[in-house]
């Protein structure tokens, strides 16, 4: 929190329609940006900066999970798409991370954000109901990362 700021977490702060439209556009752009490499053949991904690429995708997901938790932004973040994107990006992170790298920490943080957003439970509930609309507000959650810092299970237990 910024000192002397009237911001209280914005729980019930009114947001103008123009700002909401900008938020919607940004959210869609984050989805598209994180999916940019999905058309690349699975044989061997050639990027000049795999760390930067994967960290950027991770950053988009952290913001998308935060947007999913906000009741005003949630309509712009489809739960199924968010969970699918989380799965794909997490798998990419696991494929390039070393156990002692910052990307290993990114994986643990992503696992925590996924649990905290409640998206996994929402998608499960939607699947059980056969509905396309979620109604939950996120749950608290533990980290629950399956990525071990000693490398013994790097990618072996990809949750999500």
pLDDT digits (tens, 9 = 90+) for 46-75: 667 777 888 889 999 999 999 999 989 999
117: exposed, middle or buried (Cβ count in 10 Å: 0-12, 13-18, 19+): buried
Compute the average pLDDT of residues 26-31.
Answer: 95
The first and second tokens of residue 115, run together, are: 């649990």
End-to-end CA distance of the chain: 31
Answer whether residue 157 shows pLDDT above 70: no
Q: Which residue has the higher pLDDT, 43 or 143?
A: 43
pLDDT band at 144 (very low <50, low <70, confident <90, very high): very low
State the DSSP H helix or E strand holding residue 22, giving kind and residue range, or none if neither.
helix 17-34
| Block residue for tokens 């390039």 | 96
Alpha-carbon distance of 151 to 75, in angstroms, equals 38
Q: Which residue has the higher pLDDT, 114 or 152?
A: 114
Q: What is the pLDDT of residue 160?
A: 34
Q: What backbone torsions phi and psi does residue 27 show, to the nearest 5 degrees?
A: -65, -45
pLDDT band at 10 (very low <50, low <70, confident <90, very high): low
**Mean pLDDT over the full length of the chain:** 76
Alpha-carbon distance of 58 to 60, in angstroms, equals 5
């Amino acid at each position: 929190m910024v000192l002397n700021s009237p911001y209280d977490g914005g729980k019930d702060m009114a947001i103008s329609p123009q700002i909401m439209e900008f938020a919607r556009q940004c959210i869609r752009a984050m989805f598209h940006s994180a999916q940019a490499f999905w058309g690349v053949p699975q044989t061997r991904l050639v990027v000049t900066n795999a760390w930067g690429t994967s960290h950027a995708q991770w950053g988009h997901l952290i913001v998308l999970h935060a947007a999913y938790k906000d009741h005003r932004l949630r309509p712009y973040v489809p739960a199924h798409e968010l969970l699918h994107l989380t799965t794909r990006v997490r798998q990419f992170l696991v494929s390039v991370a070393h156990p002692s790298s910052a990307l290993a920490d990114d994986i643990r943080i992503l696992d925590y954000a996924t649990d905290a957003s409640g998206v996994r439970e929402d998608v499960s509930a939607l699947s059980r109901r056969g509905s396309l609309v979620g109604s939950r507000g996120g749950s608290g959650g533990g980290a629950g990362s399956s990525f071990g810092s000693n490398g013994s299970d790097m990618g072996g237990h990809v949750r999500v």
